[in-house]
Each structure stands twice: as structure tokens, then as C-alpha cells.
Amino acid sequence: MQVGSPRLDDLETVMDFHVLEKALAGIVAGFNHGHLNDIPPFDKGYNPSAERVAQRIAELLVPHIVSPARLIHVKVSEAGGCYALFLP
């Protein structure tokens, strides 16, 4: 994942990466040790492709990103050297 901002916050950063890491860890935990076809929204017939997984992670991550930062992309690896890049 990548975040960006046109300006720095009061701490002179784009965003506190600890907040971002915690949010991402919580989101990814929902995918760990499970079958993607059993995890929403894939349990409703959505194709659990790397592209869709990246999109879902982006949807869940956006609310945790503090303005003026914004989510630039989410990258999900499917196999060595193969990945999907979702640009919200």
C-alpha cells in the first residue's frame, strides 16, 4: 500500500505509519487462515482474485487514513513477481 499527501501534517509526516500498520494488520487478519470464498464480500459470489482482494483492502483501509493523506494504491501479490495494483 502507498499513501501520499500534497502537504505534511503537524508532525511533518504524510501520516503516522503506526496508525496505518495497525489498521492494515486488523484488515489482513480477517483474511488469514481462511478460505477467501467464505469471507465477505467473496462469500456473495465475488471473484476472490488478487485484484478484488486489493480493492477490498483499499475499501477497508480508506477510513483509517487521516486527511490530507490519501490512499494511492494497494498492492497484492499472487505469486512471485505477480501482483495486482488497485488504485482507489
pTM, two decimals, is 0.90
- The residue range of the domain holding 42 is 6-86
Q: Which pLDDT score, from 0 to 100, does residue 31 have? A: 87
- Rounded to the nearest 10 degrees, how much is the dihedral formed by the CA atoms of 61, 66, 68, 70? -10
Helices assigned H by DSSP within the chain: 17-29, 50-61
19 domain residue, yes or no? yes
Q: What is the CATH number of the domain that holds 74?
A: 3.30.479.10
Q: How confident is the model at residue 59 (pLDDT cuts 50, 70, 90)?
A: very high
Instruction: Give the tens place of pLDDT for each residue, 1-51.
Output: 999 999 998 889 999 999 999 999 999 998 888 899 999 999 999 999 999
Q: Which pLDDT score, from 0 to 100, does residue 33 have? A: 85
Domains held by the chain: number: 1
12 domain residue, yes or no? yes
Closest CA to 42 of 33, 32, 31: 31
